[in-house]
A and B are shown apart, each in its own frame.
Chain A
């Protein structure tokens, strides 16, 4: 796996996800952080070799729904998997994100196992 982009407005959650990636023994070369969808798109533009995105749903400026929509205008689900990491498990916003092209989702609170299961199809 090359680069992973973590998009979440909480720096605490970004740190937790990075720690869980290590605990789940998911091989990641480099992790890039962004605080919302706008920053996420900028990070993607600056790092075209990002291979996987983990994104929150509820964020200021640009939420996860609009972020996925923007990504899918240039990348297919196969080219760039996006996993939503959200408190809104099974809610309307997750359903919308899936319809717009998210590859999967993980509900907060989560265990390392649930992250590993969600990412397994996309990491080596």
Chain B
């Protein structure tokens, strides 16, 4: 049995972009500016710009999924990007500070919604998949997983990146 998900890497990235735009336009009333997209190996933080220095990912939420293929959707943000997402979801004024635990919760919910939108577009056509609850700071490298697509984007303040990881097909 081969890969039960027949969506190409390019299609997965397109689905990912649509899912992110759907969530950001509907729930944050924010347009995003795409910085980079692709399906290269490695964490999406590599695509985050930071004025010539390595980007500092301050917040990370991981939503695992299970089904014909197991995997996860990872949302990573700079501190400014995370604060921007939290303010957008909570409809707070620019510059308004949000407590860290509320920022983390907002990042988790944002990742959850992006994962749900992506699941509807890219996974559900290929079988029954289930999403897990968001986890924080757990996207350590795993040799059994590979990147199926990633994109990085800029918001009104700060940057964020989303990546889809999938385990290698168990059935050979």
Contact = CB atoms under 8 A, between A and B. Distances in A.
Interface of A: 9-13, 15-16, 19, 58-60, 86-93, 107-111
Contact of A93 (B90, B112, B130): B130
B130 A109 contact: no
A58 B132 contact: yes
Interface stretch (B7-15, B34-42, B101-109): B101-109
Instruction: Name B's interface SS.
Output: helix
A91 to B, nearest CB: 6
Interface in B31-89: 86, 89
A111 B22 CA distance: 11
Nearest to B22: A109
Given A58-B131, A59-B133, A89 B116 contact: yes
Contacts of A108: 27, 112-113, 116
Contacts, number: 65
A82 B139 CA distance: 35
Interface residues of B, number: 27
A90 B124 contact: yes
Interface of B: 22-23, 26-27, 86, 89-91, 102, 105-106, 108-109, 112-113, 115-117, 119-120, 124, 128-133
23 contacts: A10-B112, A11-B102, A12-B109, A16-B27, A16-B89, A16-B90, A58-B112, A58-B131, A87-B131, A88-B119, A90-B120, A91-B119, A91-B124, A91-B129, A92-B130, A93-B130, A107-B116, A108-B27, A108-B112, A109-B22, A109-B23, A110-B26, A110-B27
